[in-house]
Structure 1
Amino acid sequence: MSRRRTLLAGWTLALLAMALFATLGTWQLGRQEQKQRRLDEAALTLQRREPQPLAAAADQAAARALGWAAGTGRYLDLPAVLLDNQQRGGRPGVRVHRAFSPEPGGVPLLVDLGWLPLPADRRMPPLPPPPAARHVAGLLAPPPSAGLARAALQPQADGTLLATALEPKSVAAALGLPALAPRVLRLDPELAGGHARDLEVLPNTLPPERHLGYAVQWYGLALAVLVTALVLTFRRRARRPSDKPQVRP
């Protein structure tokens, strides 16, 4: 009876472990598919580059969608918003954002002017005043996800705001604006001004193929647990005597 209970307990643990590993593998596959769809959407948007008005950035129904927008307006004379923990070429830095008011009026939006490196002492780099350009164009995209980090805004000595995430309501309040559009304009790298820029939609995150690799690893662990449980079960049965020992005279 004790052997049967031990075997039952072992298989219960094995099944729980396999279920956990399979669930994690399925989650990684879901992330892989989600990110691949995002990359495909971005590629199609950048290929077509069919410009929408800048007012489209304020459309709540399309807050998670990608689009190409262009228009005129002016950069507001407000502090820059620096998104922290942004890497480029393996170097840490910040992405510089400025509030832009589109014409002929509407909800202001943040324009991503590009990336600046941070030195080892994390001293914020000096920033030029808001660009004088009145025409902007680029990729409309939701702000980068904060992940598990808590969104926070820290005023700096020069008046800029250091942000761990771009939460439109919080940033608008910090800048003294009634509201900000839910999407950010990633400024076209071909336009003059700004800093080092690109139009990658998944910066500082794992690419789809990495999620696929992790899924294979989790499924492999589930299979390894199953094989181990089967081997141990068969060995236990093989060691169990099938007949009682015979007593010799």
Structure 2
Amino acid sequence: MSVCRNIVFGWALALLAIALFTRLGLWQLQRMQQKQAMLAAVAGVLQARQPQPLAVAADPQRRAGYDWSAGRGHFLAAPAVLLDNQSREERAGVRAYRVFQPAVGTPLLVELGWLPLPGDRRLPAVPRPAGEWQLAGLLTPPPAAGLGGGAALARADGALLTLALDPPTLRRALDLPALAPRVLKLDPAQALDAGPGYVRDLDILPNTLPPERHLGYAVQWFALAAAVLVTALVLSLRRHGARARRAGMR
């Protein structure tokens, strides 16, 4: 009886592990499909490049979508926002944002570009571009939040340092009546006559796993599930063979 209980207990653990590994593998496949859909949507927008007014950044029906957008306006005298932990080519850096007020519509965050951090992690200055500007770029949801959450820490120069772009949190920190839920990633060809040498891109998955990495992790989880199943079967067959041999010796 004790042998049977051990076999049942072993299979229970094995099935639990198989279910867990399979669930993790399916989750990785789901993330892969989500990111593939995001990349396909952006590719279509960039191919068409039919500019929408900047006012669509505040459209709640489009808060999870992508649009090529263009319009005139000016940068507000609100503090700059620096998104931390943004590596590029194995260099630590930040993504710099400024609040832009379109001629028509709600204020929105505009990504000026990526800036490297020196060894002492001294944050770069992000001067406000003066005057009126005609901007163009890709409207996207804010970058995915990391484990640190969206709290904004005010620096000595007034800039806000954050690990995530959470529009409601930033609206309060910037003391704005409203802030659009999407951000504008500037066209890399956009020229600004103020500030340091920003590195710009239209990458919607910076500092996150690409779809192929999720596929690789899914394969690993499914392989672990298969390995547990094979191991459980081998052990069960060995125990069954041992019991049969002992029964034959009686």
Deviations 1:1-50 (A, max 9, x none): 11111111111100000000000000000000000111111111111111
Is 1:2 the counterpart of 2:38? The answer is no
**Other structure's SS at 2:239 match:** helix
SS in 1 for 2:92: strand
Alignment match, 1:208: 211
Cα distance, 1:78–1:149 mapped onto 2, change above 3 Å: same
Indicate yes or no: 2:111 matched with 1:112.
yes
**Residue 221 (str. 1) matches residue 224 (str. 2):** yes
Deviations 1:184-222 (A, max 9, x none): 000000111261100001010000000000000000000
Higher alpha-carbon deviation: 130-139 or 175-184 = 130-139
Q: Which residue of 2 aligns with 1:185?
A: 184
- For the 8 Å contact 2:98–2:128, the answer to whether it is kept is no
Offset at 1:150?
1.8
Change over 3 Å in CA distance of 1:76–1:243 after alignment to 2: closer
CA, structure 1 residues 90+202, in 2 after alignment: closer, same or farther (shift >3 Å)?
Answer: same
Q: Which residue matches 1:156?
A: 155
Instruction: Report % sequence identity.
Output: 58
Structure 1 window deviating more from structure 2 (142-151 vs 49-58): it is 142-151
Deviation digits for residues 123-169 of structure 1 (CA, Å, limit 9, x no counterpart): 11123332445100000001111132221111111111111111112
Regions of 4+ moved over 3 Å? 242-246
Which amino acid in 2 is paired with 1:192?
Answer: A
Q: How far did residue 122 of structure 1 move? A: 1.1
Matches of 1:244 and 1:152 in 2, distance apart?
A: 71
**Whole-angstrom CA distance in 1 between matches of 2:247 and 2:24:** 45
1:159-174 equivalences under 5 Å are 159-174=158-173
CA distance in 2, matches of 1:140, 1:99: 14
User: Alpha-carbon deviations, 1:74-100, whole Å to 9, x = none?
Assistant: 111221111111111111111111111
How far residue 244 of structure 1 moved from its aligned partner, in angstroms, is 5.4
Give the conservation status (yes or no) of the 8 Å contact 1:76–1:130. no
In 2: Cα distance, 1:175 partner to 1:29 partner: 38
Cα distance change on mapping 1:242 and 1:121 into 2, 3 Å: same
Distance of aligned partners of 1:131 and 1:190 in 2 relative to their CA distance in 1, 3 Å threshold: farther
1:129 aligns with 2:128: yes
TM-score w.r.t. length of structure 2: 0.94
1:231 to 222, 225, 234: 234
Could you say what the CA RMSD is over the residues aligned between the two structures, in angstroms? 1.3
- For the residues of structure 1 that align with 2:249 and 2:203, how far apart are their CA atoms? 74
Task: Give the 3 Å change call, closer, same or farther, for CA 244–77 of structure 1 in structure 2.
Answer: closer
Structure 2: gaps (5+ residues) = none
Determine if contact 1:77/1:130 at 8 Å carries over to the other structure. Answer: no
Look up the match of 2:174.
175
Q: What residue ranges of structure 1 are gaps of 5+ in the alignment?
A: none
Return the index of the structure with the highest Cα Rg.
1
Q: Count matched residues.
A: 245
Q: Which deviates more, 1-10 or 144-153?
A: 144-153
